[in-house]
Amino acid sequence: MSRGMAPRASRDTDLYARAGLPQARYATSKASPTADRSSYDARIGSIVHGVIATVARTCQLLGFVERGDVVQEAVAAQTLGRDLGRGDKARLRVTGLVCQYLDLYLPPADATFVGAELRLENGRVDLAWKHPKHGVFFDELKTWRHDKDALDADTLAQMERYLDAGSTRYSERFSGVRLITLGNRRAALWLRPDGQIDALAGSALDLSSPVRNPNPEVA
């Protein structure tokens, strides 16, 4: 805190009072709305990982229409009996995030799905793939609802741990981590084992699984 500066809560109270506005009061024992959103996003992210793990291999071989049916069934199964607090809206959000990954980031059929929530020496990576040309790489999915800096300090430290673990386990076969910010494609990055960081879009790891046109008469 800067010297001579009043605490944030006190300053906010004064500002509200001078403006003649009502002041929000939250019991200190309860989570703030921001914390509630963070917890909600974490639950949504966990379900998204689970659905992708369930449908990834199958969807590499399916067209758009067929993918949609598979995703709907997987979302229903993953959310059955889970209290998400927002019902249909939560399921729609999960479905949208999963479809975004499948449409923009799912590797083609010649890539092998290694697994989800893969345990490493110092954590768990969301998804792992093995590609015949590019070797093994990890996908770390972020499902933030707001535009954020993809490489804040915590995220950067997490990526460094994954790079170290991947290099140790797979040696020269490891090509790095794709940091995928669902909902903000421009922020997606490719972090290489040598420390280089590139935009994922247009890079060698900007892979997507080609899908059959469900209506071949339409060019």
Using one digit for the tens of pLDDT, what is the confidence trace for 59-91? 999 987 889 999 999 999 988 877 676 667 888
Last residue of a domain, one of 104, 139, 158: 104
Confidence of residue 122 (pLDDT cuts 50, 70, 90): confident
DSSP H helices, the chain, are 8-19, 33-59, 64-79, 87-104, 153-170
- Give the tens place of pLDDT for each residue, 137-158: 999 998 765 545 557 888 899 9
φ/ψ of 119, rounded to 5, equals -75, 125
Instruction: Select from 36, 74, 38, 79 the least CA-distant residue to 56.
Output: 74
The count of structural domains within the chain is 2
Last residue of a domain, one of 104, 127, 152: 104
Is residue 93 over pLDDT 70? yes
Q: Which residues pair with 139 in a beta bridge?
A: 127, 178
Lowest mean pLDDT among 20-29, 151-160, 172-181: 20-29
> Would you state the pLDDT for residue 37?
52
Q: Which range marks the domain in which residue 97 is found?
A: 33-104
pTM for this structure?
Answer: 0.75
Same domain, 93 and 120: no
Q: Does residue 16 belong to any structural domain of this protein?
A: no
Same domain, 126 and 170: yes
56-82 residues labelled b (16+ CB within 10 A) or e (exposed): beebbebeeeebbebbeebbeebbeee
Put residue 87 in one of left, alpha, beta given phi > 0 → left and psi -120 to 50 → alpha: left
